[in-house]
Amino acid sequence: MEYKIEQYGALPCELQVFTINGKQANEEDFGVKIMRDGSCMDNECGCSFHPKLPTSEVLSKYGITVDEYSEIAHKLESELLVYNCGWCS
């Protein structure tokens, strides 16, 4: 399995590139992005990604296993955790 995740440089909570096995991928197949409003001075604003459980349809769509799904979901969770970027404030 090969996957590529690249964020936009100026908008780190959005993906410029997300492919799995050479196929364009949808982050919503792996979880939900939550945007929080608040004071960026207090690190209360930002975005986070919350993985969801895999479905057989998603596994089949990308030709991946449950373990590979989990690897991708956790990578999205770490990459899309953004605080204090200034775009939401």
Residue 89 lies in a domain: no
Q: Please count the other Cβ atoms lying within 10 Å of the Cβ belonging to residue 21.
A: 12
Q: Is pLDDT at 44 greater than 70 in this prediction?
A: no
* pLDDT bucket at 46, cuts 50 / 70 / 90: confident
For tokens 């990604």, what's the residue? 49
Residue 41: per-residue pLDDT: 52
Which residues make beta-bridge pairs with 69? none
Residue 87: per-residue pLDDT: 62
d(CA 18, CA 27): 8
Residue 62 lies in a domain: yes
What would the pLDDT profile of 52-72 be if each residue is shown by its tens digit? 999 999 999 999 999 999 999
Q: How many domains does the chain have?
A: 1
3-state secondary structure of 64: coil
pTM for the predicted model, two decimal places = 0.85
The helix, strand and coil proportions of the chain, stated in percent and rounded to the nearest 5, come to 30, 30, 40
d(CA 15, CA 49): 12
Give the domain range for residue 52.
3-83
Residue 88 lies in a domain: no
